[in-house]
Amino acid sequence: MRKSGILMAMSSLPSPYGIGTMGKSAYRFVDFLRASGQTYWQLLPLGPTSYGDSPYSAFSTFAGNPYYIDLDLLVRDGLLKRPELQGIDWGSDSQRVDYGKIYENRFAVLRRAFGRSGALTEEIAAFRRENGGWLEDYALYMAMKTRFGMVSWTEWPEEDIRLHQPEAVARCAEEYREEMDFWVFLQFLFFRQWNALRDYAHSRGVQFIGDIPIYVALDSADVWSVPHFFQLDEKNVPKEVAGVPPDDFTEDGQLWGNPLYDWDAMGADGFGWWIRRIEGAQKLYDVIRIDHFRGFESYWAVPYGDTNAKRGHWKPGPGMKLVGVLTSWFPHLRFIAEDLGYTTPEVEKLLRDSGLPGMKVLEFGFDPQGESGYAPHNCQSHSVCYIGTHDNETVRGWVKAGRGQAYIRYAKEYMHIEPREGWCWGMIRTGMSTASELFIMQMQDVLELPGWSRMNSPGTAEGNWQWRMKADAVDAALTRKLRRVTHTYRRD
């Protein structure tokens, strides 16, 4: 069935507390999606962000971000008092997240709520039992990070707990039990609010698409707690790290720095870690987009300590051994393969063998000199069409930056862009009209925002992940306009 949806980060929702949350604005956004004929809300990863604020670099692949816990709902639940939220500096720009201010002030407020959580003891205990291993690992990991001034676990001064030795884990779990309880409490709040929001969205006919980053962060409970599943030495230092090779856009390649998986060790375990990971994601999302899918076929391994990705080399990935396990273990869960980037016949074969829909990005599709696989007429039905992803320019930014006047002229002629309609809605119309079974547009393009609202510029360290929508950005006229084009192309 032909459907469409909007890519909108949770952090980008308006709220009075400096960052989007799972409160009133999230419910209003669901209502907007429903009223405008959209079926899907695509989110960026919801994990607890670390240094750099990227949702693709989280302290845990299983945990939720405490920043997204709605404070007004905590007031409603009696865990906070309204005056306790007054006079706090959450940042001065309503269209930008000030992560520094959020980090400085939010946890003090949440600790106040923790102090009033006595009436929830039985519910929290049940949540703890249901979530087992990952929750205990994450809570102890965060307790120890707090103990050591939030530095990466690779810099913890006590070697036994740094190396996750069983005796040290048992000792620290006892010694820091109360601090662990705080981090468990935050996860309880996150999932309670998330489940309520998800239930509401489902009642309105809206489903969630979520990203699974192929790699996890080195500074994470995931790597610290199961180091034998990663390519680490006897001191748990990475041997090689993730990245992508140099190309026409990046002379040095991209050095991501994530630890690489030990695929032999994971395979010997029946890929149980990945099964547990997808089980966790299934609690959040209805559809899962697998980031950097080509890394399952082969991946770029860069020597640890290098300052760029030039000296990397290709190594074989698990291929269908893993992909087949995931699709057979979760036969009713829908996946999207993020198959962008450097592709080869082997990667294309893996996509075909997997049976998963790949991605088509319209901003890549207008080559005036030759054929492009991303051109609208090449968007086959078993695919997901995007105007651009979170890593790409907004439509207005793309037109301004451009790839040369010939490129823009060809795109304008191809899509019949007229001044009255404008580039943003011309691209939305074009995406809606493709054969792709699903079309996703960024909220910035629905709002016709310029390039400053771009979510992420790969290869840059500052200014990313900050855009927020104005509280009054969505009105009845915009809703009707989106509903009309959605219905025209029978995606509602």
Cα Rg of the chain (Å, integer): 23
Q: Is 291 a catalytic residue?
A: yes
Rounded Cα distance between 166 and 225, Å, is 10
Which strands form 298-303's sheet, in the order they lie side by side? 254-259, 240-244, 298-303, 313-316
Find all residues with CB under 8 Å of 125, minimum gap 6, and list them.
none
Q: Are 68 and 25 in contact, with CB atoms under 8 Å apart?
A: no
Rounded Cα distance between 271 and 315, Å, is 18
Q: Are 47 and 60 in contact, with CB atoms under 8 Å apart?
A: yes
Find all residues with CB under 8 Å of 322, minimum gap 6, and list them.
263, 266, 267, 271, 274, 296
Structure-token pair, residue 411: 């795109």
Minimal CA–CA distance to 404: which of 368, 445, 365?
368
Q: Is 391 a catalytic residue?
A: yes
Q: How far apart are the first and last CA of the chain?
A: 10
Structure-token pair, residue 185: 């409490």
What secondary structure letter does DSSP report for 316?
E
Angle formed at CA 337 by CA 336 and CA 338, multiple of 5 degrees: 115
Residue from 98, 291, 306, 448 carrying the catalytic annotation? 291
Residue from 338, 339, 445, 492 carrying the catalytic annotation? 338
Structure-token pair, residue 152: 């990466």
Q: Are 339 and 319 in contact, with CB atoms under 8 Å apart?
A: no
Residue that is written with structure tokens 């900050």 in the block: 466
Strands (E), 408-459: 438-442
Minimal CA–CA distance to 362: which of 399, 406, 400, 405?
399
Q: Are 336 and 309 in contact, with CB atoms under 8 Å apart?
A: no
Structure-token pair, residue 116: 């009033």
Residue from 77, 84, 346, 391 carrying the catalytic annotation? 391
How many DSSP H helices and E strands does the chain contain? 17, 12
Q: Is 338 a catalytic residue?
A: yes
Q: How far is CA 303 from CA 39, 252, 256, in A?
A: 43, 14, 12
What secondary structure letter does DSSP report for 292?
T
* CA atoms within a 13 Å half-sphere pointing along the CA-CB vector of 264: 2
Structure-token pair, residue 419: 């001044």
Residues tagged active-site: 291, 338, 391
